[in-house]
Structure 1
């Protein structure tokens, strides 16, 4: 596949996009997969475009215990069909119409304020979950985060400590520019959001909406196992800020533009 297609495809007048439930109706019946999958219920993960400009709907089976492997774009759990080969069921799997959002806590909890993002992720994970929003403490696992971005997330919020010359505890929201894929190898140790995005681009995709919530640290270069006072005092405010950003991104990702839908 060459890359992402429109956000939705119209099938028999019904908008079908990430999270839509469909029944598979393979036309060719040419191989064992067509025979086995005919009539099965699947979940749309994305609409993608091949090198020749044709659009295909990527799906995972609703009852597949390895569905998360399909979401991670691994073979054997993810299938492609044209709009003519799916029957919309008019249901979604609980995610917002615009697709899923990832909140990624980043940082090293053994380096004092560098654990800010991890603490915010933990605080969010303890609250009532929002359908379609995944909150994950990635710590220093930059490679895992880059691979997670290959799933059907339409938006991601990175939460990280970053020195920007402000007073300790200052919160800043950044909207980074999409990274260029210059072909250079990316160092995967101790990755910051920019490196994660560059690696994700090399792997195949980056969510359309990206925000970074930064907190100015007091120190990140000492072996401290707790946050400083100024940073800890901002955890609640940062948590609320992330929740507000997520809701804004859900609204923005679900707002169709003139090129968002492909008629059948």
Structure 2
């Protein structure tokens, strides 16, 4: 039996301050020894590319992004995203990647959605809408190391078939 195929996908906008969190986490993961069958990629704001990657038949997808859920800046969340009907609104925004549209595109193209997780970080500063902001805030930058460990734990759980400790949304 071959190893499960897992996609770790960084999403977010590097010109929007803490929204660069996902890209920075996957950059750090790219240099680490991950289990066979695990692919790491920064999709930025390229939702179509993410949809086509999901169509490649992954057993699990781990999205890494800033996720405003009302906690203190730098708080990490691991959330298993349950399938939702097309008409239902998304529970989380990703500042440039419309995840419901990505999943709808996958379904429209005949794909099925793998187990899907979000490892998110509560942002502190995205910058003004008309100007943006470069660089991560201090609390989000401090969360990078723990976030890498969170993502590795979720990936290991998917590879081994273990239960992944995550809230459901």
The TM-score with structure 2 as length reference comes to 0.83
Do residues 247 (structure 1) and 153 (structure 2) align?
A: no
Paired position in structure 1 for 2:146:
237
**For 1:100-126, what per-residue CA distance to the aligned partner results, in whole angstroms no more than 9, with x for missing partners?**
000000011111000000000000001
List runs of 5+ in structure 1 lacking aligned partners.
Answer: 1-16, 20-95, 183-188, 254-264
Superposition RMSD on alpha carbons, in Å? 1.9
List runs of 5+ in structure 2 lacking aligned partners.
Answer: 88-94, 163-169
Paired position in structure 2 for 1:25:
none
Q: Distance in 2 between matches of 1:156 and 1:197?
A: 12
Residue 168 of structure 1: SS of its match in structure 2? Answer: coil
* More helix as a share of residues: 2
Whichever of the two has the greater Rg, that structure is: 1
* More strand as a share of residues: 1
Please tell me whether the aligned partners of residues 23 and 42 of structure 2 are also in contact (alpha carbons under 8 angstroms).
Answer: yes
Alignment equivalent of 1:150, drawn from 55, 58, 65: 55
How many pairs were matched up? 152
Q: Distance in 2 between matches of 1:208 and 1:159?
A: 16
Please tell me whether the aligned partners of residues 181 and 201 of structure 1 are also in contact (alpha carbons under 8 angstroms).
Answer: no
**For 1:165-198, what per-residue CA distance to the aligned partner results, in whole angstroms no more than 9, with x for missing partners?**
110000111111213256xxxxxx9224333223
**For 1:57-112, what per-residue CA distance to the aligned partner results, in whole angstroms no more than 9, with x for missing partners?**
xxxxxxxxxxxxxxxxxxxxxxxxxxxxxxxxxxxxxxx1xx20000000111110
